[in-house]
C-alpha cells in the first residue's frame, strides 16, 4: 500500500501540493491525471525520495522496490538482452557471487528459484519482442539504436525487474501503436502496483482501474476507468456550479436588503441580521472554466479527385524496394490511418506521399496545385532552439507584420508570452503545436501526421480531433493513440509484407490481431462493394448531419443561458418567458430529429464501408 499523508511541496515559491493525501491499495493500477504543470512528475520524484518534502509523509511497506524510466539506456556494446537482464540487480548479484560454502550455495539456489531466475532470459526476450525488438535485434549492441529505441530498452528493463511500485511517466510517447497495445495488455496482468501518467485515453480506459486526480494542489482518488472518472468529475463540477449560483443569488438578495434598509430605523435590526448572515456564509467557489485547447487549420481550395493516384509504384532507399506494387487512390475528403508493425514502411509511404522520397518505378499522378503538409516527431526536435515561434513564422512569411503572425500562433494555443519565448524554454506540447502550425501554414490539401499526439495533453488531443473533423483536406495518420484513430479515420490501410492494401476489418479487430486474441465468432455477410461516388456521397451526408447537430447544439446552449436568467421569471415577463420556452422546446425537438438522421447516416456509411 502507498500512503500519501498531507504532503506539501513548492517550486520557486509556487505550491504544487498542499496538505495533499491519498491511499493506493497494493496491486492497484492507477492513472495519475491532471493539467500540465500541476506537478505529476514532481509527485513521482517525491515518491522516489529524490526531493525532500516540506511537510507530510509518503509511506510504503518496508523493503518495497520502486521502479520507473527516467532516461534512456546509455549507448554501449552490451546487447539489448543482456542490458534488460542486468536490470534485475538481485538476480545479477546472486549469479555473480562466488562462494564455496555449501550452505550459502544452497541459499543462493533457493533464492534464484524464488525469483524465477532460470526463466529470466525467456521473460526478457518476450518483453523486448512486445516492445518491437525481434530476436536478431535483441543480440545487437545498444549503440546500434537511436535514443528513442534505447528508451524502449529502458522500459523493458524496468518491466523485467518487476518493482513493487512501478511509476511510468508518459510511457507511450516513444512507442508505436503495436508497442502501446502490447504495454496496455502487459500492465493489466502486472503483479504489483502501477501508477501511470498518461494522456492516452485508451490506455487509461483499458490498463487502469482507478484515477488519481491532481488538481488545485490536492489529490482525489476515483475508482474506475478514465471515462468513469470524467463523468464523475463533470457531475461534481455541475453540482458545485449550481451551488455557487444559488449562493450568489442568495447573497445578492441579502446584500440588496442591506443596501436598502441598513440606515432605516424600523428595518435596522433586520438589516443587521442579514449582514451577520452574509459574514457567516462560507463562500462556495464556482469551478474554474476549463481551458479550451484549440487548433485552427486554414481551409484549402477544393481540387478535382483524385488528388493522388499511385499505379504500380515502388519506393525505397537505393537497394531493394521497401514498398512495391503500390496501387492506391487518395481523394480530398479521405481520412486514412496507416496500420502495420514497426519497420514495415509506414514512414516510408508518408515520405513518398510528401515528396521526401521519389518513386523508383511505376507512376504517381498528383493534382497540379496539390499542397502537402507533413508533421513528424523528428520535426519537433528540429525546431531552432534559440529562436522564438514568432521568428519561425517570420522566416516563412518575411513580408507579414507581427500583427498578422501573432493571431496564427494564438490559433494554435501559443499566446503572447509563448510567441516571444525561445523554443528551448517551451514545453513539449507547445513545440508540437508550433510544428503543427508550420505544417499547415500553406493550407495543404493533404495533411500527413506521423505520431502527432506525442507531448499533447488530453485537451489538446481532443482539440486536434475537432480540428481534423472540420479540416477540408485529406488526412494520412500514423498514431499509437487508438482513441484518435477511432475518431478521425474512416479508412484503414495495412502496410505489411512490402506493400499497402485496404484493411477490411475495424480497429478493434486489428487490436485483437496484434494481441493474438480470438475475434468473436460471427459470420459476416459481405454486401456488394459500393462505388466510390456512392461512398463519398454517404460521407458527405454524415458530415452535413453532424454539422446540423453542432448548429442546433449552439442554439440550445444559448437558449439555456437565456432561460437561466432570473429576470425572465419576473411576473411582468410571463409572455416573454413563454416565447423563449417555446423556442427551447422547438430546438430540443429539432435536435432529436437531427440526431436520428445523423445516426441513420452513420449506419449507412458504416454498412457501405464494411461491404
Closest CA to 493 of 508, 481, 482, 478: 478
- Give the pLDDT confidence score for residue 598 in this predicted structure: 72
Q: What's the rounded mean pLDDT across residues 147-156?
A: 88
Position 264 confidence tier, pLDDT thresholds 50, 70, 90 = low
Three-class SS state of 16: strand
Closest CA to 300 of 411, 505, 442: 442
Give the C-alpha distances (Å, rounded to integers) separating 304 from 330, 366, 440, 489. 11, 10, 20, 21
- C-alpha 237/C-alpha 251 separation (Å) is 21
Closest CA to 200 of 450, 461, 413, 431: 461
Helices 532-563 and 574-610 sit at what angle, rounded to 10 degrees? 160
Position 157 confidence tier, pLDDT thresholds 50, 70, 90 = very high
Q: What's the rounded mean pLDDT across residues 540-545?
A: 76
Closest CA to 83 of 132, 14, 152: 152
Segment 573-585, tens digit of pLDDT: 878 777 777 777 7
- C-alpha 393/C-alpha 387 separation (Å) is 10
Query: Is the pLDDT at 519 greater than 70, yes or no?
Result: no
Residue pair 171/155 in contact by the 8 Å Cβ criterion = yes
The DSSP 8-state label assigned to residue 48 in this structure reads T
Any bridge partners for residue 5, and if so which? 57
Query: Is the pLDDT at 311 greater than 90, yes or no?
Result: yes
User: In angstroms, how far is CA 135 from the centroid of its own chain?
Assistant: 31
Query: Is the pLDDT at 388 greater than 90, yes or no?
Result: yes
Q: What's the rounded mean pLDDT across residues 552-556?
A: 78
Phi and psi (nearest 5°) for 216? 55, 40
The DSSP 8-state label assigned to residue 172 in this structure reads G
Q: What's the rounded mean pLDDT across residues 81-104?
A: 85
Query: Is the pLDDT at 266 greater than 70, yes or no?
Result: no
Query: Is the pLDDT at 555 greater than 70, yes or no?
Result: yes
Q: What's the rounded mean pLDDT across residues 138-164?
A: 89
Query: Is the pLDDT at 478 greater than 70, yes or no?
Result: yes
- Give the pLDDT confidence score for residue 526 in this predicted structure: 42
Position 569 confidence tier, pLDDT thresholds 50, 70, 90 = low
- C-alpha 78/C-alpha 66 separation (Å) is 24
Between 308-322, 395-409, 561-575, the lowest mean confidence (pLDDT) is in 561-575
**All residues at 6 or more sequence positions from 526 whose CB lies less than 8 Å from its CB, including other chains:** 610, 611
Check residues 356 and 293 and name the one with the higher pLDDT: 356
Residue carrying the nine cell digits 445523423: 598
User: In terms of DSSP bridges, do strands 361-366 and 308-315 run parallel, antiparallel, or are they unpaired?
Assistant: antiparallel
Segment 180-208, tens digit of pLDDT: 889 999 998 899 999 999 988 888 998 99
- C-alpha 84/C-alpha 162 separation (Å) is 12
- Give the pLDDT confidence score for residue 285 in this predicted structure: 59
Give the C-alpha distances (Å, rounded to integers) separating 66 from 123, 158, 435. 20, 10, 36
Segment 444-468, tens digit of pLDDT: 999 999 989 888 888 888 889 989 9
- C-alpha 468/C-alpha 335 separation (Å) is 9
Residue pair 203/172 in contact by the 8 Å Cβ criterion = yes
Quickly count: other Cβ atoms within 10 Å of residue 11's Cβ.
11
Amino acid at each position: 500500500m502507498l500512503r500519501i499523508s498531507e504532503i506539501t511541496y513548492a517550486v520557486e515559491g509556487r505550491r504544487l501540493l498542499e496538505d495533499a493525501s491519498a491511499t493506493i491499495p497494493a496491486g492497484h493500477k492507477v492513472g495519475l491525471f491532471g493539467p500540465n504543470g500541476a506537478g505529476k512528475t514532481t509527485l513521482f520524484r517525491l515518491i522516489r525520495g529524490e526531493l525532500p518534502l516540506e511537510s507530510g509523509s509518503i509511506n510504503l511497506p518496508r523493503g518495497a522496490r520502486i521502479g520507473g524510466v527516467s532516461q534512456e539506456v546509455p549507448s554501449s556494446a552490451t546487447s539489448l538482452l543482456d542490458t534488460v537482464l542486468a536490470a534485475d540487480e538481485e538476480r545479477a548479484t546472486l549469479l555473480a557471487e562466488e562462494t564455496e560454502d555449501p550452505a550459502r550455495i544452497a541459499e543462493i539456489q533457493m533464492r534464484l528459484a524464488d525469483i524465477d531466475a532460470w526463466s529470466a532470459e525467456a521473460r526478457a526476450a518476450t518483453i523486448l519482442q512486445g516492445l518491437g525488438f525481434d530476436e536478431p535485434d535483441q543480440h545487437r549492441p545498444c549503440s546500434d539504436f537511436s535514443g528513442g529505441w534505447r528508451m524502449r530498452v529502458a522500459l523493458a528493463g524496468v518491466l523485467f525487474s518487476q518493482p513493487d511500485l512501478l511509476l511510468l511517466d508518459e510511457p507511450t510517447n516513444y512507442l508505436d501503436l503495436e508497442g502501446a497495445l502490447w504495454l496496455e495488455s502487459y500492465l493489466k496482468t502486472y503483479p504489483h502496483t502501477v501508477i501511470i501518467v498518461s494522456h492516452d485515453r485508451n490506455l487509461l480506459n483499458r490498463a487502469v482501474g482507478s484515477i488519481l486526480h491532481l488538481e488545485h494542489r490536492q489529490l482525489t482518488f476515483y475508482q474506475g476507468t478514465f471515462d468513469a472518472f470524467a463523468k464523475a468529475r463533470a457531475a461534481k463540477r455541475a453540482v458545485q456550479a449550481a451551488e455557487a449560483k444559488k449562493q450568489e443569488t442568495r447573497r445578492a438578495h441579502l446584500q440588496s436588503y442591506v443596501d436598502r434598509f441598513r440606515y432605516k430605523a424600523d428595518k435596522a435590526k433586520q438589516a443587521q441580521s442579514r449582514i451577520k448572515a452574509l459574514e457567516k456564509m462560507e463562500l462556495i467557489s464556482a469551478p474554474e472554466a476549463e481551458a479550451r485547447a484549440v487548433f485552427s487549420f486554414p481551409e484549402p481550395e477544393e481540387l478535382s479527385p483524385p488528388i493522388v493516384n499511385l499505379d504500380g509504384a515502388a519506393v525505397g532507399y537505393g537497394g531493394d524496394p521497401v514498398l512495391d506494387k503500390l496501387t492506391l487512390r487518395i481523394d480530398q475528403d479521405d481520412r486514412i490511418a496507416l496500420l502495420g508493425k514497426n519497420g514495415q514502411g509506414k514512414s516510408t509511404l508518408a515520405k513518398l506521399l510528401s515528396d521526401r522520397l521519389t518513386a523508383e518505378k511505376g507512376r504517381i499522378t498528383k493534382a497540379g496545385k496539390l499542397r502537402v503538409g507533413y508533421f513528424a516527431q523528428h520535426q519537433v526536435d528540429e525546431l531552432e532552439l534559440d529562436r522564438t515561434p514568432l521568428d519561425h513564422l517570420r522566416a516563412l512569411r518575411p513580408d507579414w507584420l507581427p500583427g498578422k503572425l501573432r493571431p496564427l500562433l494564438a490559433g494554435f494555443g501559443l499566446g503572447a508570452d509563448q510567441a516571444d519565448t525561445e523554443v528551448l524554454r517551451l514545453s513539449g506540447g507547445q513545440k508540437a503545436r508550433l510544428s503543427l502550425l508550420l505544417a499547415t501554414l500553406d493550407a495543404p490539401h493533404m495533411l500527413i501526421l506521423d505520431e502527432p499526439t506525442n507531448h499533447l495533453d488530453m485537451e489538446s488531443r481532443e482539440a486536434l480531433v475537432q480540428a481534423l473533423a472540420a479540416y477540408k483536406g485529406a488526412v494520412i495518420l500514423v498514431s499509437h493513440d487508438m482513441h484518435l484513430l477511432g475518431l478521425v479515420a474512416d479508412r484503414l490501410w495495412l502496410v505489411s509484407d512490402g506493400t499497402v492494401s485496404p484493411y477490411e476489418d475495424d480497429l478493434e479487430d486489428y487490436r485483437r490481431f496484434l494481441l493474438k486474441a480470438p475475434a468473436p465468432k460471427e459470420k459476416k455477410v459481405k454486401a456488394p462493394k459500393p462505388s466510390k461516388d456512392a461512398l463519398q456521397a454517404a460521407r458527405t451526408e454524415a458530415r452535413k448531419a453532424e454539422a446540423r447537430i453542432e448548429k442546433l447544439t449552439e442554439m440550445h446552449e444559448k437558449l439555456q443561458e437565456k432561460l437561466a436568467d432570473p429576470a425572465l421569471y419576473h411576473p411582468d415577463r410571463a409572455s416573454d418567458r413563454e416565447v423563449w420556452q417555446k423556442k427551447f422546446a422547438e430546438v430540443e425537438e429539432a435536435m432529436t430529429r437531427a440526431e436520428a438522421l445523423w445516426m441513420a447516416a452513420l449506419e449507412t456509411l458504416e454498412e457501405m464501408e464494411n461491404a
